């Protein structure tokens, strides 16, 4: 079942991903790559796990946007909530490590690996997630400039 990894890496390249490579973070296998979002590089992690018994493949795409924010107030959470209501796939949320606050994006997909259309479905998942990340990134850039 692990042969899906090379297929996904190829699909990532087809949808504009660059510097595609495999990594392990906290014992979790990922395919890391970079896209260009609104003229800026954005690092993306695609977590993946195959479940052979169920013939399923789980994918989770994750990225954090620049800039770094101060601790958010309730009004900013309302802005994120409104953005999420308009999302066709995935969602944005505040993530923080120590005193660093960022807005991150996450989308999930579970596929039947035996389905003949699974390759097309992976590509659709990647394309729509990348488009949604770009849309969020653009909206956040506008909001960030107004909030400063």
- Rounded to an integer, the average pLDDT of 60-76 is 79
pLDDT reading at 96 higher than 90: no
| Residues 111-140 pLDDT 10s | 998 888 889 999 999 999 999 999 998 888
DSSP 8-class letter at 15: T
Please tell me the predicted confidence (pLDDT) of residue 77: 77
CB 66 within 8 A of CB 40: yes
- Rounded to an integer, the average pLDDT of 71-84 is 79
Q: What are phi and psi of 73, to 5 degrees?
A: -95, 175
- The residue with greater pLDDT, 94 or 108, is 108
């Amino acid at each position: 079942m692990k042969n899906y990894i090379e297929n996904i890496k190829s699909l990532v390249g087809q949808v504009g991903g660059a510097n595609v490579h495999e990594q392990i973070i906290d014992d979790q296998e990922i395919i890391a790559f970079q896209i260009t979002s609104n003229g800026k590089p954005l690092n993306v992690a695609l977590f993946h796990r195959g479940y052979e018994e169920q013939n399923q493949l789980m994918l989770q795409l994750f990225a954090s946007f620049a800039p770094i924010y101060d601790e958010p107030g309730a009004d900013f959470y309302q802005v994120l909530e409104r953005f999420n209501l308009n999302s066709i796939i995935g969602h944005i949320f505040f993530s923080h490590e120590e005193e660093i606050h960022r807005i991150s994006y996450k989308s999930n997909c579970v596929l039947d690996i035996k389905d003949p259309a699974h390759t097309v479905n992976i590509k659709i998942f990647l394309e729509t997630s990348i488009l949604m990340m770009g849309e969020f990134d653009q909206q956040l850039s506008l909001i960030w400039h107004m909030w400063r």
